[in-house]
Structure 1
Amino acid sequence: MDSSLINGALYWPEHRALELCLASGRRYLYLGVPAEVAEGFTEAPSKGAYFNRAIRGRFDCHPLRDQKPTPRAVND
């Protein structure tokens, strides 16, 4: 993906859910996203502009936790 704002995207049509990974490393799940909007995102020449115009603030958004394990002390 060639965007200065968004590094990756996944869409689950059966759940109408769009996951976006931002360049900052933060991930968000957008719910209720129609297939046409997700398709428009993948076809947009500017992913960031399309995101700001058609997705941001229009759908229920949930931040996702980082997938990397958090280091913890291990007791002997």
Structure 2
Amino acid sequence: MIARVAYDETDRTLSIWFRETGRYIYSDVPSAIFEGIRRAPSAGRYFNDCIKRRFPCRPDPERRKFRPRFSD
């Protein structure tokens, strides 16, 4: 479910890269939450229990969605 996590201590933002949907940025996240997900036996379970729907979230602004273009 989760490919990578990173934390910006200055901005208190947690970036999570999901395997299927790409990167999402969570705001106002305490550093203890980042340490928790890093050390959790299951990052996915920790995310569901401690992060999901608890912090403001937005998709990566630089993420581009690919959609196939069909020519006539």
**TM-score, scaled to structure 1:** 0.78
- Aligned partners of 2:2, 2:23: CA distance in 1, in Å? 10
2:30 aligned partner, one-letter code: P
Q: What's the offset of the Cα at 1:26?
A: 1.6
Unaligned runs of 5+ in 2: 65-72
- Report the count of equivalent residues: 64
Unaligned runs of 5+ in 1: 68-76
Is 1:49 the equivalent of 2:45? yes
Give the corresponding residue for 2:17: 21
1:1-76 correspondence runs (5 A): 5-64=1-60, 65-66=62-63
Provide the secondary structure at the position in 2 that maps to 1:21: strand
- Computed over aligned residues only, the root mean square deviation of the Cα atoms, in angstroms, reads 1.6
- Aligned partners of 1:6, 1:54: CA distance in 2, in Å? 14
- Aligned partners of 1:44, 1:14: CA distance in 2, in Å? 23
